[in-house]
Amino acid sequence: MENLGQVTGLNLIKKILRHINLLLFIGCFAIFLPIMQAYAAQADEAMVRVYPTVDYGRGAKSELIHRGEYLVRAGDCISCHTARNGKAFAGGVPFKTLFGIFYSHNITPDPETGIGRWTLEQFIKSMQQGIRPDGQPHFPVYPFMQFTHIYQQDLIAIKAYLDAVPKAYQRNRKNDVPWPFSWRFSQWFWCFLFFKSGEFKPDTKYSAKWNRGAYLVRGLGHCGMCHTPINLLGAPKHKYFMVGSDVSGMYAPDITGHRLKRYAIADIVNVFYKDYILGGDSARVVGPMYEVNHNSLRYLNRSDLESIAIYLQTISSQHPPTKKIIKSAGHGKSVYKNNGLAKTPMKTLIKTGKIAYERHCAVCHQSNGAGMPPVVRTLHGSPIVTGDILKHIELVLYGVKGTAMRAFCTQLSDEQLAAIINYQRHSWGNQDKKKYGQKAPGRVTSEQIKAVRDKHGNKHIR
């Protein structure tokens, strides 16, 4: 249905170049791998921004600025361009990567430090082609790969709004990134391989609402930046469009039709308006998606959110095979040569499981697994942790209703969950039969987690 792998005459050359240069450029481009993690790292604290008061003027101008404001909200520009306690749109938001820190830019109309002197043409070129007024390419932490789909008439409105927001005198911070990763020139190559510019073209086979949804999701909404897995060079894998991806220890779940078809449009809209987790009766969206909802999607009208839901339900992407290299528990390094984790050394699983446990579970269960009795029972010899694997998986996937133990099904990937569960089963004496009367049975594979997920979906079953 949804085919994003466009065919162009350059494809063959690109394919060859990809292979030749993969190793050569891997060092240079590996920088983009952690981009998504960086995105989440700063979003982790889920910050709700306040939109500035704006002088809309009158008549046609006022209408244009209002339209621009709506679109800027749909694009969530404010999340990336407003620092904690900083002025709206003045930039300076850090994006931490393995190679250093990138900073977003000042996009207020200040003529000296912002984009006040940019012409409309320069602005459009930056958004649609990723090229700065000085001719240098942008770094793709700035989602120009998605923004390229925005219609020119919408960019005109966005520019009108940005021209109207209060000026902030704030110089752009230099990226703390060592050469060659700081080298903008290397971007040309990356763009050549992975970036295809071009406005959104409506598909007449579908309704106007579907097209509106596709336009918002693929373009302004840049949802794929978190929900689509990326390749070794940090570019999105089109064939796995929206099938879910790790975002710094969190999991941005599969939002293709494969999962969403079974839900009503109103349920999906409530994810955005009310922070509901699909199928979950008490769980709420947290982290990066909370921020997306509160800084962006909540401002959209119901019709647009329904359009988004309608479109998502029709995405039919290929799903990645389990035999792939996956990222460790949100820390960027590929540690498993995945085979459902059946052959990954237990030592590796325990090590990555521990990292993820510390991050997601230790707040309540404590690093030493002792919990906080009587509210959080100890995991030392816990009947769940030393008992039936399936029960353990179900409990962590779906939580315990009415307690602080939330469902982790949408927050963690199969691999992360498998690592954590293995870690719990191999720690704190849980393998000691003498001590607890039973020994936690063996190894948990990500295949097993997936099987439970496939059976019940990402919803509460308790």
- To ligand HEC, the closest distance from the beta carbon of 404 in angstroms equals 4
Least Å distance, CB 17 to ligand HEC, is 23
Among 90, 164, 191, 277, binds ligand HEC (CB under 6 A): 277
Nearest residue to 25 via CA among 174, 261, 233: 233
CB atoms within 10 A of CB 328: 21
Asked if 414 is part of the footprint of ligand HEC (rule: CB under 6 A), the reply reads no
36-55 footprint of ligand HEC as x/- string (CB under 6 A): ---xx--x------------
> What residues between 323 and 362 interact with ligand HEC by CB under 6 A?
360-361
CA distance 243 to 255: 6
Least separation in angstroms between residue 268's CB and ligand HEC is: 6
Instruction: Report if residue 420 touches ligand HEC, rule: CB under 6 A.
Output: yes
Whichever of 90 and 107 has its CB closer to ligand HEC, that residue is: 107
| Minimal distance, residue 326 CB to ligand HEC, in Å | 17
- Out of 167, 294, 365, 426, the residue judged to bind ligand HEC by CB under 6 A: 365
CB of 298 to ligand HEC, least distance (A): 11
- Name residues whose C-beta falls within 8 Å of residue 432's C-beta, 6 or more positions apart in sequence: 439
Neighbours of 158 (CB within 10 A): 27
In the shown chain, the binding pattern of residues 161 to 190 toward ligand HEC, with x for contact by CB under 6 A and - for none, equals: ------------------------------
Question: CA–CA separation, 276 vs 297, rounded Å?
Answer: 13
- Distance (Å, rounded) from C-alpha 164 to C-alpha 118? 14
287 binds ligand HEC (CB under 6 A): yes
- Single out the segment in contact with ligand HEC by CB under 6 A; choices: 12-20, 104-112, 229-237, 431-439: 104-112
Interface with ligand HEC (CB under 6 A), residue from 22, 265, 346, 395: 395
Q: From the CB of 49, what's the least distance to ligand HEC, in Å?
A: 12
Q: How far is the CB of 16 from ligand HEC (least distance, A)?
A: 28
Q: Provide the minimum distance between the beta carbon of 27 and ligand HEC in the complex, in angstroms, as a whole number.
A: 20
Using a 10 angstrom Cβ sphere, with 0-12 exposed, 13-18 middle and 19 or more buried, the burial of residue 399 is buried
Q: How many residues bind ligand HEC (CB under 6 A)?
A: 73
Stretches 7-15, 45-53, 279-287, 438-446: which one binds ligand HEC (CB under 6 A)? 279-287
Residues 53-92 that bind ligand HEC (CB under 6 A): 72, 75-77, 80-81
Near ligand HEC by CB under 6 A: residue from 141, 164, 168, 341:
141
**Contact (Cβ atoms closer than 8 angstroms) between residue 411 and residue 288:** no
Q: Judged by CB under 6 A, does residue 315 bind ligand HEC?
A: no
Please report how close the Cβ of residue 18 comes to ligand HEC at its closest, in angstroms.
23
CA distance 195 to 29: 14
C-beta of 10 vs 310, nearer to ligand HEC: 310
Build a one-symbol-per-residue string for 235-274: x at contacts with ligand HEC by CB under 6 A, - elsewhere.
------------x--x-xx-x------------x--x---
Contact letters for ligand HEC, residues 107-126 (x by CB under 6 A): x-------x-------x--x
Of 22, 265, 370, 376, the residue at the interface with ligand HEC (CB under 6 A) is: 376
Q: Is 158 in the site for ligand HEC (CB under 6 A)?
A: yes
Name which of 285 and 335 has its Cβ closer to ligand HEC: 285
Q: Which stretch binds ligand HEC (CB under 6 A): 6-14, 195-203, 400-408, 448-456?
A: 400-408
User: Which residue, 370 or 451, is less far from ligand HEC as judged by CB?
Assistant: 370
For the chain, give the secondary structure using H, E and C: CCCCCCCCCCHHHHHHHHHHHHHHHHHHHHHHCCHHHHHHHHHCCCCCCCCCCCCCCCHHHHHHHHHHHHHHHHCCHHHHHECCCCCCCCECCEEEECCEEEECCCCCCCCCCCCCCCCHHHHHHHHHHCECCCCCECCCCCCHHHHCCCCHHHHHHHHHHHHHCCCCCCCCCCCECCCCCCCCCHHHHHHHHHCCCCCCCCCCCCCHHHHHHHHHHHHHCCCHHHHCCECCCCCECHHHCCCCEEECCEEECCCCHHHHCCCCHHHHHHHHHHCECCCCCCCECCHHHHHHHHHCHHHCCHHHHHHHHHHHHHCCCCCCCCCCEEECCCCCCEEEECCCCCCCCHHHHHHHHHHHHHHHCHHHHCCCCCCECCCECCCCCCHHHHCCHHHHHHHHHHCCCCCCCCCCCCCCCHHHHHHHHHHHHCCCCCCCHHHHCCCCCCCCCHHHHHHHHHHHCCCCCC
- By CB under 6 A, residue 105 contacts ligand HEC: yes
Q: Which CB atom, from 58 or from 134, has the smaller least distance to ligand HEC?
A: 134
In the complex, the smallest distance separating the C-beta of residue 222 from ligand HEC, rounded to whole angstroms, is 6
Nearest to ligand HEC of 233, 308 (CB atom): 308
